Amino acid sequence: MADTANLEIGDQKYSLNLIKGTEQELAVDISKLRKESRVITFDDGYGNTGSCESEITFIDGDKGILRYRGYDIAELAEKSNFLESAYLLLNGNLPSGGELDGFRQRVAGYCDLPAEVLTSIRSQPAGAHPMAVLSSGLQALGGSYPQYGTNDRKKDLESFDESSALIISAVRSLAAAIYKNSLGEDLSSSDPGRTYCENFLSMMFDKPGESTPVPSAVESALDLIFLLHADHEQNCSTSTCRMIASGGANPFASLAGGVSALWGPLHGGANMAVIKMLDEIHESGDDGSRFVESAKQGKSRLMGFGHRVYRNYDPRAKILKNACDQALDALGVSSPILQIARRLEEVALEDPYFIQRKLYPNVDFYSGIILQALGFPTNMFTVLFAIGRTPGWLSHWKEIAENGKKIHRPRQIYQGETLRPYLPVEDR
C-alpha cells in the first residue's frame, strides 16, 4: 500500500502523506496543504473528516462494530458494568480488583452535592429544561471545586483522577436534584454504600428519609443503558468537548458544552423525540405504516432511525432491543408503544427508501421505552444519556489535555458580501 496520495490542482502537483489507523483505516493528511497551495478542503458537516487521532473508541459503521479500548460492546454489555467500563475508557485498560474498588470508592465519595450547587439548581424555575440546568449545574460544580478546574492543563491533569470521579458521581446527583426541583421537592440523601445506579434511583424516586429497595432488573437495565452510551468517538457532543478542551478549558467547562450539544433532537434529544413520535402514532390509531410513508415523503423524520456513521444496525440498538423485552417482562410492564416501535422497524427495514439509504434503528429507538418503563419522565431522557456519556467526554478531555497540541479551529469558504463602503444611516 502506498504511503502517499497525489493531488493535482491546475498544473501543480502535491504529495500528501497517508495516515494509517490500527484498524487499517486510511486518511489523507492535508494539514500542510494550505501552506503549500493556498487551497483548503471542504467537508460540510465533517462527514469525511478525521479531526484527531484517538485511542479510545473504534466504530466500523458498515459492519456495525463498536469497541471501547478494543473490547467489543456486546461483550462489555454482557460481562462488564458501567463503572468498570468507565474506568476502561478513562485509563485504557480494564482495572484489577483493587483498582476497581478504589475507583468505586472514589466515585461514591462524591455523591453529595455542595450546598451552593444545590442552591443554584433550586434557583431555576421548576419548568426549566433539565438539560439547561444540567449544563449550568456542571459549571456551578466547577465553581465549588476551583482546584480541579484551573484551566492550567498540567494542574487539571494532575487532579484528573479526582475531578473525573467527582464529575461521574455528581452528574447523577445533579440529575436527581434537577428532577426533584421540577417537582418542588427536596433531594433525598445519598447512600454511598449502595451501587451507582441504586443510589441514583433512590435519589430520584425516594422521598426524603425513605430508602426503597431497587429491584435488580431495574438497576441492571439502567446500568446497561449507561454502559451502552458511555462513548461513541467523535460525535457532536464529544467533538464539542474536545473543541472546548483544545482551547485549554477545564473538564467542567468542556462537559457543560458537551451537554448543550447533546440536547439537540438530532443527537441525544432523539430519545425524547422517539417517545413523542411513538405516542403520536399510537394516539392516531396508525400501526406505523402511515408514519413511514410520511417520513419517505420528507414530511416527518423517523426518530431513532439513521446514523451518520452506522450504515448497518447500530450494535447498541440490537442489545437494547433484547434488553427491552427482558426489562419489561421483569418489571411486569406492558408498553403499547413497544408494539408500534417493532412494527415501525419491520415496515422501515423492508422499505426500499430505508434500504437504499441504509437507515437502521439507532441507540435511541429502544432506550426511551426502557427508560419510560423504569419510571423516568420523558424530559429526563437526554439527561440520562448525558450521565452515560460522561466517562466518554472525560476520556476525550484527558486525551486532548495529554496529547493535543493545537487549538481546534476549522476554516471556512466565505460566501458573503465582498468589501463595500459604510453608508451613514440617512443614506441607506
Q: According to CB under 6 A, which one of 357, 377, 403, 410 is a site residue for ligand CMC?
A: 357
Amino acid type, 227: L
Cα–Cα separations (whole angstroms), residue 134 to 122, 159, 184, 185: 12, 22, 17, 17
Alpha-carbon gap, residue 141 to 139, rounded angstroms:
5
| Stretch touching ligand CMC by CB under 6 A, among 63-71, 261-269, 339-347, 419-427 | 261-269
| Stretch touching ligand CMC by CB under 6 A, among 5-13, 16-24, 356-364, 419-427 | 356-364
Q: Which residue is nearest to ligand CMC (CB)?
A: 306
Which C-beta is closer to ligand CMC: that of 161 or that of 351? 351
**Whole-number minimum distance, CB 176 to ligand CMC, in Å?**
23
Residue of 212, 172, 177 lying closest to 196 (CA atoms): 172
Which C-beta is closer to ligand CMC: that of 84 or that of 364? 364
Alpha-carbon gap, residue 169 to 120, rounded angstroms:
18
- Sketch the per residue contact string, 298 through 337, with ligand CMC: x for CB under 6 A, - otherwise: ---xxxxxxxx-----------------------------
Which C-beta is closer to ligand CMC: that of 68 or that of 305? 305
Q: Yes or no: say if 240 and 257 are a contact pair by the CB < 8 Å rule.
A: yes
Regarding 290 and contact with ligand CMC (CB under 6 A), the answer is no
Q: According to CB under 6 A, which one of 202, 362, 390, 395 is a site residue for ligand CMC?
A: 362
| Stretch touching ligand CMC by CB under 6 A, among 28-36, 265-273, 321-329, 369-377 | 265-273
Regarding 363 and contact with ligand CMC (CB under 6 A), the answer is yes
Instruction: Give the three cell numbers for residue 226.
Output: 449507561
Which C-beta is closer to ligand CMC: that of 88 or that of 317? 317
The catalytic residues are: 267, 307, 364
Instruction: Give the three cell numbers for residue 357.
Output: 439509504
What residues between 229 and 258 interact with ligand CMC by CB under 6 A?
Answer: 232, 235
Alpha-carbon gap, residue 223 to 80, rounded angstroms:
10
| Stretch touching ligand CMC by CB under 6 A, among 143-151, 182-190, 295-303, 376-384 | 295-303
Which C-beta is closer to ligand CMC: that of 27 or that of 309? 309
Alpha-carbon gap, residue 405 to 294, rounded angstroms:
47
User: Torsions phi, psi of 305, nearest 5?
Assistant: -125, 145
Regarding 359 and contact with ligand CMC (CB under 6 A), the answer is yes
Q: Which residues are 7's β-sheet partners?
A: 14
Q: How many CB atoms lie within 10 A of CB 79?
A: 9
Q: Yes or no: say if 66 and 73 are a contact pair by the CB < 8 Å rule.
A: yes
Which C-beta is closer to ligand CMC: that of 190 or that of 235? 235
Q: Which residues are 5's β-sheet partners?
A: 16
Alpha-carbon gap, residue 180 to 190, rounded angstroms:
13
Regarding 386 and contact with ligand CMC (CB under 6 A), the answer is no
Alpha-carbon gap, residue 251 to 396, rounded angstroms:
10
Alpha-carbon gap, residue 160 to 233, rounded angstroms:
20
Which C-beta is closer to ligand CMC: that of 76 or that of 121? 76
- Give counts: helices (H), strands (E), the chain: 19, 6
| Stretch touching ligand CMC by CB under 6 A, among 79-87, 124-132, 263-271, 402-410 | 263-271
Q: According to CB under 6 A, which one of 111, 134, 295, 319 is a site residue for ligand CMC?
A: 295
- Interface residues with ligand CMC (CB under 6 A)? 232, 235, 266-268, 270, 295, 301-308, 357, 359, 362-364
